[in-house]
């Protein structure tokens, strides 16, 4: 299926100086199970989603640490999930440097240990990110499972389902900002948690967690 790639356009003031850049905001949707091939026709499925903007895709995943759960991958290639389709949501004129600060601030609101399948999952994140960038929400069918679960929590045993989500997330390890220094001391890693960010383990796809803005 062909996908409209992110494009940009600009406007100029009376002196011909570029004043605004616009880029397309795209929702990339993935299947968490092959059963979606049968159930999505009736508007039901189990999906992961990410927001593609400025040539990068951002998602939210679960891990066991009180640090950023917002991660970045190559668009439409999030490991562990089956790419289904892309949906153009709108455009934003936020400057790339401004967006970097913006996404780092969002990362401080979406810690991996706060992931909740019903109330704060990957699709809640993309819906929030889309609203902030374009003023529009993602299609309702993408997160319908969580919406139904909110009405009847017995439909989705949380302990089981969140565990499944974590198992499908890319394997990651803690890594210091100084890539050249390695340590096997787990206690030192835990003590310096706030000074580290999450990166993929060797041999995995290129997945990196956005480093959040530290509170002053």
Residue with tokens 């499972």: 145
- Farthest-apart Cα atoms in the chain, separation: 62
How many residues does the structure list for the chain? 216
Q: Are strands 47-53 and 18-31 parallel, antiparallel or unpaired?
A: antiparallel
Residue spans of beta strands (DSSP E) within the chain: 8-12, 18-31, 47-53, 56-60, 70-73, 82-92, 172-176, 196-200, 208-209
Residues known to be catalytic: 48, 122
Residue 79: exposed, middle, or buried by beta-carbon count in 10 A (0-12, 13-18, 19+)? middle
Tokens of 198: 């999450």
40: which residues sit within 8 A by CB, 6+ positions away?
A: 84, 141
């Amino acid at each position: 299926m062909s996908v409209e790639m992110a494009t940009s356009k600009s406007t100029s003031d009376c002196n011909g100086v570029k004043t605004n850049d616009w880029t397309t905001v795209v929702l990339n949707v993935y299947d968490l199970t092959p059963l979606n091939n049968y159930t999505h026709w009736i508007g039901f499925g189990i999906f992961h989603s990410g927001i593609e903007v400025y040539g990068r895709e951002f998602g939210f995943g679960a891990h066991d640490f009180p640090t950023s759960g917002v991660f970045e991958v190559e668009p439409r290639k999030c490991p562990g999930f089956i790419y289904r389709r892309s949906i153009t949501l709108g455009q934003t004129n936020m400057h790339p440097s401004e967006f970097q600060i913006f996404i780092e601030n969002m990362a401080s609101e979406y810690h991996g240990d706060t992931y909740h399948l019903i109330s704060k999952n990957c699709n809640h994140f993309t819906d929030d990110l889309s609203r902030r960038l374009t003023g529009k929400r993602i299609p309702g069918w993408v997160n319908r499972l969580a919406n139904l679960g909110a009405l009847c929590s017995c439909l989705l045993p949380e302990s089981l389902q969140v565990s499944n989500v974590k198992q499908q997330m890319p394997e990651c390890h803690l890594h210091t900002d100084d890539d050249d220094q390695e340590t096997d001391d787990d206690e030192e890693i835990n003590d310096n948690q706030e000074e580290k960010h999450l990166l993929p383990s060797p041999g995995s796809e290129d997945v990196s967690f956005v480093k959040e803005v530290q509170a002053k």
